[in-house]
């Protein structure tokens, strides 16, 4: 068993079919590649074939997935038949900085934990509160409010076998000035951290330094590259910066950006990291191509350092 | 009928389902490059689907709700000016469907959120200078059944709440000078001719939106429906299909994607089996002067669909 297992953080947009029973006929309707991106059967097979044996689902997909499959358990069984296990789900802890939103933020987080348990997952990577624009800068008290919410959700999750991992985006109200303050304000026994390699680098953290400092808190990774590290406040605090007007991409496949991912892998080896790493392709025009490029880079550059 | 006034719906861009290069649809540049292509295809009027989803998560590059328009253009006037610079003179209509809010067992959430955002969409329609606001009065039947297994037992109560919601919108629409029209997709609780009792329960100002493909799939001949209801028709969507619903696909959770036999339900206008030239001729013969919008929903290629639609209109003109 390797030390690192690889999953796919699901960024496929709505997949309308479970399985296409008339694949050839469907293809011939228009002779396009639509059939290849329209059913979970194919998507999960792509993952399995490329060695991504876990899937981290996105909460915004639930409204489509659940009616399509009938239940979380049915989706999990369908994925397992194709060699893929559900490892967890992302969660956004909206307004957790607001004291008067404590109960709602905890309730929502606990419901998400319950959903993950039904899928058989064990990770909930959690974005602490919303975007900086319209919310930041947060006061010290508001950061502590976030920490209290995370601790409470973390306690509920831990009791059910789920690890929650803080996951920071570069444009969140938790940002460079209070990023580490939040981590250190949470209970290490209950709240872990998911390093999104590109997001924290754009935020202004040095990837390898951050991992070295917090390696004992790290539960999982979202692995992706960027060529846009250390963005200024004017970008990170802007309104809706994630999707740019021009089509500029923040995120690239490992090896196509400028991050020191080999350096990270040397540290993973040093600290003997064991667990899941979710590869993430948000912003890619072709998720299947990105998955294959990532697999090549993993096998030829990163896994030879630490597997 | 002045064919040059026909609008085309921006629903020809597949922004929700996976395909290579889909990500570009979330950036502002894509839409601003698209508008001149629409104009070059001979359309100076568009219809916009109102989709609150783009507000959540900050994906404001898709100009399909008030938040996105205000974020990128300041206000509706700014957006209309940007459209005009690129050859789009008018937004004739705004559409709204409530499927996004059928996502849990809380029916109050469904009606509360649908009512809130439909009201916002209607106000946006007025700001955009639209002629009509087309609302789908029902979510997907199958999706509603998933979250509300007692849907049939609750049909009367569901209908009553729908009437209440629509009546409120009707009063607001009248104040705003926008025509409220009901779109009767084949997958809803009010599919086919079931839309008529609902319409009868609403103020006279509320009109029908004839969706030709949806009617045909629901087993209703569009020409007969138009002939029978011409006085209450406030909008026509010329949609095309070759799909025949032999096994109640309309009741499934994702009815635009038949689970037992995958197919493209909505075809590019002119490539299905709906007699669109005949319907256009019928509308002209009865003196229909309301809005007509062409929709290439589900197209595999929006740019090809634009030209195919123009080719169909050229055929109608000849």
Closest by CA position to B113, among listed B132, B95, B128, B97:
B97
The complex's ipTM works out to 0.94
Question: Would you state the pLDDT for residue A63?
Answer: 86
Put simply, the answer to whether A18 touches B147 (Cβ < 8 Å) is no
**Among all residues of chain A, which has the CA nearest to that of B24?**
A247
> What distance in Å separates the CA atoms of residue A129 and residue B306, rounded to the nearest whole number?
42
Chain B residues whose beta carbon lies within 8 Å of the beta carbon of residue A34 = 19, 264, 300
Concatenated DSSP letters of B11-47: GGS--SB--TTGGGGGSHHHHHHHHHHHHHTT--EEE
Torsion angles phi and psi, residue A163, rounded to 5: -100, 125
Query: For an interface test with B, which of A25, A30, A290 has the most B Cβ atoms less than 10 Å from its Cβ?
Result: A30
For the cut 90, the answer to whether the pLDDT of residue B261 exceeds it is: yes
pLDDT at A64: 87
Classify residue A70 by its DSSP letter: S
Interface contact A66, partner B, CB < 8 A = yes
pLDDT at A95 > cutoff 90? yes
Using CB atoms, which residue from A13, A16, A243 is nearest to B254? Answer: A16
Rounded-to-integer distance, Cα A63 and Cα B113, Å = 15
Q: Which long-range contacts (CB under 8 A, 24 or more apart) does A253-256 make?
A: A253/A224, A253/A225, A253/A281, A253/A284, A253/A290, A253/A293, A253/A294, A253/A297, A254/A223, A254/A224, A254/A225, A254/A279, A254/A294, A254/A297, A254/A298, A254/A301, A254/A302, A255/A225, A255/A293, A255/A297, A255/A301, A256/A225, A256/A227, A256/A293
Could you tell me if B62 and B54 are in contact, meaning their C-beta atoms sit under 8 angstroms apart?
A: yes
Predicted pLDDT of residue B57: 76
Q: How confident is the model at residue A1 (pLDDT cuts 50, 70, 90)?
A: confident
**Is B300 in Cβ contact with A245 (below 8 Å)?**
no
* C-alpha span between A30 and A38 (Å, rounded): 14
Cβ-based contacts of B253 with chain A (< 8 Å)? 67-68
Q: Could you list the beta-strand ranges (E) of chain B.
A: 7-9, 45-49, 90-96, 132-135, 179-183, 207-211, 233-238, 240-241, 266-267, 292-294
- Whether B318 shows a pLDDT value over 70: the answer reads no
Cα B69 from Cα B78, distance rounded (Å): 8
Chain B contact for A38 (CB, 8 A cutoff): yes
Distance from CA of B3 to the nearest CA of A (A): 28
Q: Which residue of B has its CA nearest to A287?
A: B20
In the DSSP assignment, the letter for residue B186 is T
- Strand ranges inside chain A, DSSP E: 4-9, 54-57, 85-93, 123-128, 163-166, 191-196, 218-223, 275-280
CB of B210 closer than 8 Å to CB of B238:
no
What token pair was written down for A105?
A: 């933020």
Cα dihedral across residues B275, B10, B252, A82: positive or negative: positive
Please report the pLDDT score of residue B272 as a whole number. Answer: 98
Which residues does A261 contact at the CB level (< 8 Å), separation at least 6?
A197, A223, A225, A254, A255, A301, A302
* B residues 72..131 contacting A (CB < 8 A): 72, 100, 102-103
Kindly state whether A13 is in contact with chain B, defined as any CB-CB distance less than 8 angstroms: yes
pLDDT tops 80 at residue B1: no
Q: Do A64 and A96 touch, CB atoms closer than 8 A? A: no
For A34, the closest of B19, B24, B100 (CB atoms) is B19
**CB of B88 within 8 A of CB of B35?**
yes
> Of the candidates B27, B56, B57, which has its C-beta nearest A247's C-beta?
B27
Give me the domain span that covers residue B206: 3-317
pLDDT tens digit string along B227-247? 999 999 999 999 999 999 999
Is A17–B24 a contact, with Cβ atoms under 8 angstroms apart? no
Q: How far are the Cα atoms of B105, B146, B148 from residue B153, in angstroms, in the given order?
A: 15, 14, 10
Residue pair B48/B10 in contact (Cβ under 8 Å)? The answer is yes
Interface test mutation site (partner B, options A16, A72, A236, A284, max chain B beta carbons within 10 A): A16
Q: Please tell me chain B's helix, strand, coil percentages from 3-state DSSP, rounded to the nearest 5.
A: 50, 15, 40
Question: Above 90 in pLDDT, residue A284?
Answer: yes
Asked if B195 and B136 touch (Cβ cutoff 8 Å), the reply is: no
Q: Please list every residue in chain A whose beta carbon sits closer than 8 Å to the beta carbon of residue B142.
A: 67
Residue ranges of the domains in chain A?
4-302
The CATH number of the domain where B262 resides is what?
A: 3.20.20.150
Q: Assess A35–B contact: CB distance below 8 Å, yes or no.
A: yes
Q: What is the mean pLDDT of chain B?
A: 96
Confidence of residue B104 (pLDDT cuts 50, 70, 90): very high
B7 three-class SS? strand
Say whether residue A29 is in contact with chain B using an 8 A CB cutoff: yes
Residue A238 at interface with chain B, using a CB cutoff of 8 Å: no
Cβ–Cβ contact B254 with A under 8 A: yes
Of the candidates B180, B63, B51, B182, the residue with the CA atom closest to the CA atom of residue B117 = B51
Q: Tens of pLDDT along B36-82? A: 999 999 999 999 999 999 998 789 999 999 999 999 999 999 999 99
Encode pLDDT of B270-292 as tens digits.
999 999 999 999 999 999 999 99
The shortest CB-CB distance from B58 to any of A25, A30, A131 is to A131
- Going from the C-alpha of A210 to that of each of A146, A236, A255, the distances in angstroms are 21, 19, 20
Which backbone phi and psi does A139 adopt, to 5 degrees? -80, 165
- Cβ-defined contact of B18 to A70 (cutoff 8 Å): no
User: Minimal Cα–Cα distance from A41 to chain B, Å?
Assistant: 13
Q: Searching chain B, which residue's CA lies closest to the CA of residue A70? A: B146
Give the separation between CA B92 and CA B130, rounded to whole angstroms.
Answer: 4
Q: Does B246 touch chain A (CB under 8 A)?
A: no
Q: Pairing between strand B240-241 and B266-267?
A: antiparallel
Cβ contact B265:B243 at 8 Å: yes
Quote the tokens at residue B231: 């006085």
Q: Give the separation between CA A10 and CA B279, rounded to whole angstroms.
A: 44
Query: Each residue of A138-180: pLDDT tens digit?
Result: 999 999 999 999 999 999 999 999 999 999 999 999 999 999 9
- Asked whether A292 and A256 are in contact (CB, 8 A), the reply is no
What's the pLDDT tens digit per position in A253-262? 999 999 999 9
For A27, name the nearest residue in chain B, comparing CA atoms only.
B263
pLDDT digits (tens, 9 = 90+) for B135-176: 999 999 999 999 999 999 999 999 999 999 999 999 999 999
Class of domain A4-302: alpha beta
Closest by Cβ to B58, choosing from A18, A25, A240: A240
For residue range A202-253, what is the model confidence (pLDDT) as tens digits? 999 999 999 999 999 999 999 999 999 999 999 999 999 999 999 999 999 9
Domains identified in chain B, total number? 1
A 171-200: CB under 8 A from B? 171
Q: Can you tell me the mean pLDDT for A16-20?
A: 97
Q: How far apart are CA B116 and CA A68, in angstroms?
A: 27
């Amino acid at each position: 068993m390797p030390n690192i297992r690889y999953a796919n953080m699901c960024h496929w947009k709505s997949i309308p079919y479970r399985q296409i029973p008339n694949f050839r006929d469907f293809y011939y309707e228009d002779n396009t590649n639509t059939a290849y991106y329209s059913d979970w059967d194919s998507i999960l097979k792509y993952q399995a074939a490329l060695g991504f044996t876990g899937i981290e689902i996105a909460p915004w997909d639930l409204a489509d997935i659940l009616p399509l499959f009938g239940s979380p358990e049915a989706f999990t069984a369908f994925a397992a038949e194709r060699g893929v296990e559900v490892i967890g789900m992302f969660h956004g802890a909206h307004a957790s900085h607001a004291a008067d939103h404590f109960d709602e933020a905890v309730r929502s987080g606990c419901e998400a934990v319950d959903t993950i348990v039904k899928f058989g997952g064990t990770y909930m990577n959690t974005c602490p509160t919303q975007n900086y624009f319209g919310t930041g800068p947060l006061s010290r008290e508001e950061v502590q409010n976030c920490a209290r919410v995370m601790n409470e959700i973390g306690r509920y999750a831990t009791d059910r076998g789920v690890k929650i991992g803080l996951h920071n985006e570069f444009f969140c109200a938790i940002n460079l000035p209070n990023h580490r303050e939040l981590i250190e304000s949470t209970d290490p026994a209950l709240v872990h951290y998911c390093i999104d390699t590109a997001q924290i680098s754009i935020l202004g953290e040095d990837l390898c330094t951050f991992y070295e400092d917090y390696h004992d808190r790290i539960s999982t990774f979202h692995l992706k590259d960027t060529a846009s590290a250390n963005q200024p406040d004017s970008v990170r605090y802007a309104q809706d910066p994630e999707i740019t007007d021009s089509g500029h991409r923040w995120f690239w496949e490992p090896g196509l950006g400028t991050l020191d991912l080999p350096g990270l892998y040397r540290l993973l080896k040093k600290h003997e990291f064991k667990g899941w790493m979710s590869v993430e392709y948000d912003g890619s025009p072709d998720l299947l191509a990105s998955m294959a490029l990532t697999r090549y880079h993993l096998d030829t550059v990163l896994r030879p350092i630490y597997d | 009928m002045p064919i040059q006034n026909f609008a085309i719906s921006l629903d020809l861009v597949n922004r929700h389902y996976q395909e290579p290069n889909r990500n570009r649809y979330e950036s502002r540049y894509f839409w601003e490059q698209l508008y001149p292509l629409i104009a070059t295809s001979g359309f100076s009027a568009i219809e916009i689907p109102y989709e609150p989803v783009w507000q959540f998560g900050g994906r404001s590059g898709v100009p399909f709700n008030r938040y996105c328009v205000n974020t990128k253009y300041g206000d509706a006037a700014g957006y209309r000016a940007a459209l005009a610079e690129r050859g789009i003179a008018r937004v004739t209509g705004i559409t709204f469907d409530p499927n996004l809010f059928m996502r849990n067992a809380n029916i109050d959430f469904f009606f509360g959120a649908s009512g809130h955002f439909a009201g916002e969409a209607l106000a946006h329609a007025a700001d955009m200078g639209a002629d009509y606001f087309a609302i789908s009065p029902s979510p997907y039947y199958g999706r509603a059944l998933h979250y509300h297994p007692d849907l049939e037992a609750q049909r009367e109560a569901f209908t009553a709440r729908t009437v209440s919601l629509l009546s409120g919108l009707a009063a607001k629409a009248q104040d705003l000078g926008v025509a409220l029209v009901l779109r009767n997709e084949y997958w809803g609780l009010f599919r086919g001719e079931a839309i008529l009792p609902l319409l009868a329960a609403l103020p006279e100002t509320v009109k029908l939106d004839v969706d030709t493909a949806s009617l045909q799939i629901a087993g209703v001949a569009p020409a007969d429906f138009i002939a029978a209801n011409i006085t209450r028709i406030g909008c026509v969507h010329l949609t095309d299909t070759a799909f025949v619903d032999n096994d109640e696909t309309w009741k499934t959770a994702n009815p635009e994607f038949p689970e037992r036999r995958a197919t493209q339900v909505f075809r590019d206008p002119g490539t299905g089996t709906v007699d669109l030239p005949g319907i256009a001729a019928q509308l002209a013969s009865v003196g229909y002067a309301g809005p007509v919008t062409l929709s290439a929903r589900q197209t595999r290629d929006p740019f090809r669909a634009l030209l195919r639609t123009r080719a169909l209109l050229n055929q109608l003109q000849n």
